[in-house]
Amino acid sequence: MSSLGKVAVLGAGNIGGSLAQRLAELDVAREVVLVDIIDGLPQGKALDLQESAPILGFATRVSGSTSLDALAGADVVVETAGLARKPGMSRSDLLGKNAAIVRGHAEAVRRYAPNAVVVVVTNPVDVMTYYFRQVSGLPAARVFGESGTLDTARFRTFVAEALHVAPRDVTGFVLGTHGDTMVPILSLTSVSGVPLAKLLPAERIAAIVERTKQGGGEIVNLLKSGSAFYAPTASQAELVTAIATDAHRLVPVAAHLAGEFGETDVCVGVPVVLGREGIERIVEIDLTAGERAAFAASVAAVRSDLEILAKGAG
């Protein structure tokens, strides 16, 4: 039985539409509403999705709107709106334009859905998560970004391909920013309990780490127009399902740090326990000296973007 009344998805592009489909088919909420500024786009995709219900058997009602008052009463809001990367662009290149979009949506959440848990997807996600929380005024536990969940899925995929094993048997974390300075935690990566270092030589592992860091860009370059949305929305659906079912899942997300890992007043990917009210707690794990240094560099990259954003806002 669904534990959520309404999930609102901001943005009805490839990410928003695909996520709405996944959430409807999972039956995690009584209603999924797509919101977009392009008239007809959210309504059309919602109707198309709704018409698949008799075939797939889901009970979720899917609707679309161009008005932000459709957020009213939402239990979960997923912020997907924003410009997608083009070949040659970094996530940071999107900073200013996407911040303007996020500001309007954060203000709308504060007005219409002040009790919602918010999952931020818009890039650069660590910075946009911080900004969304700052503008909305929501508690830190209820605003977090989808970052490490997606990066970890890519990392696990590449490890599984290298070893010819089932992806589900690969466990690990990718922490830090959702960008070029992300940090796969190799010391905690294993395959059914066997440490990765015992299964692959160092140079193969290094190549997998590099491919993970460029994972989104690899897809952008292949598509030439647009960016990834299948794996990202699978990651987002996993997070929303954890909230809906109060699952207490241990997952990496971009969370607001208040002293954890030695950092304060920044949003960056760390392991958290996720339940119905959002982040229940941040889990501080032991890192090697190299991992800790890489994590610090990753946080510094996020802070650099936050400074750029602050200057632009000023």
In single-letter form, the type of residue at position 189 comes to: T
**Residue 305, C-beta contacts closer than 8 angstroms, at least 6 positions apart:** 92, 95, 124, 126, 127
How, if at all, do strands 190-191 and 170-171 pair? antiparallel
In single-letter form, the type of residue at position 210 comes to: E
105: annotated active-site residue: no
Please name which of 82, 71, 70 lies closest in space to residue 131, comparing C-alpha atoms.
82
The β-bridge partners of 33 are: 8, 63
Structure tokens at 66: 């161009």
Please name which of 307, 314, 265 lies closest in space to residue 124, comparing C-alpha atoms.
307
Catalytic residue, chosen from 105, 164, 178, 256, is 178
Sheet with strand 264-275: strands edge to edge: 61-65, 29-35, 4-10, 76-79, 117-120, 143-145, 249-258, 264-275, 278-282
How would you classify residue 157: left for phi > 0, otherwise alpha for psi between -120 and 50, otherwise beta?
Answer: alpha
How would you classify residue 214: left for phi > 0, otherwise alpha for psi between -120 and 50, otherwise beta?
Answer: alpha
| Distance in angstroms (rounded) separating the CA atoms of residues 146 and 128 | 11
DSSP element (H, E) containing 175: strand 174-175
Catalytic machinery residues: 178
